[in-house]
Amino acid sequence: MEQLTTTRGEPTPYAERVLDVVERIPPGKVMSYGDVAEFLGEGGPRQVGRVMALWGGAVPWWRVIRADGSAADGLQSECLAHWREESTPLRGTRVDMRKARWDGV
């Protein structure tokens, strides 16, 4: 697994690329952890999730979710508030991935 932090405690180039993609997701749209990895052509859902856990506070982290449209454990109510504020298409308390998934274009 690739290091995600430099020896100086800063994000690695991979982590910076993940965060750059997340910053570009428009309001009302989402990507799954796997979508971000696939878009970059490197890493996987777990690596993206780790980047988000370490560095995601500076980007719209609520726009990166599980493939089933749910938020990470412990973040459900905060995500739901952001999704409602941005008019993200929902199915109950989950994002409607068919309508809200962003393809990076």
Residue 51's CATH number: 1.10.10.10
Position 4 scores a pLDDT of: 61
Structural domains of the chain, count: 1
Assigned domain for 60 exists: yes
Assigned domain for 89 exists: yes
The Cα 44–Cα 9 span in angstroms is: 22
Domain that holds residue 28: 13-95
94-95 and 90-91: which strand pairing?
A: antiparallel
The Cα 31–Cα 40 span in angstroms is: 12
Tokens 């970059």, located at residue: 40
Position 45 scores a pLDDT of: 97
Assigned domain for 7 exists: no
Assigned domain for 8 exists: no
Assigned domain for 87 exists: yes
The Cα 17–Cα 15 span in angstroms is: 5
Q: Is this structure's pTM higher than 0.85?
A: yes
Position 75 scores a pLDDT of: 93
pLDDT digits 0-9 by tens, 22-77: 999 999 999 999 999 999 999 999 999 999 999 999 999 999 999 999 999 999 99
Both structure tokens of 81: 């508030």
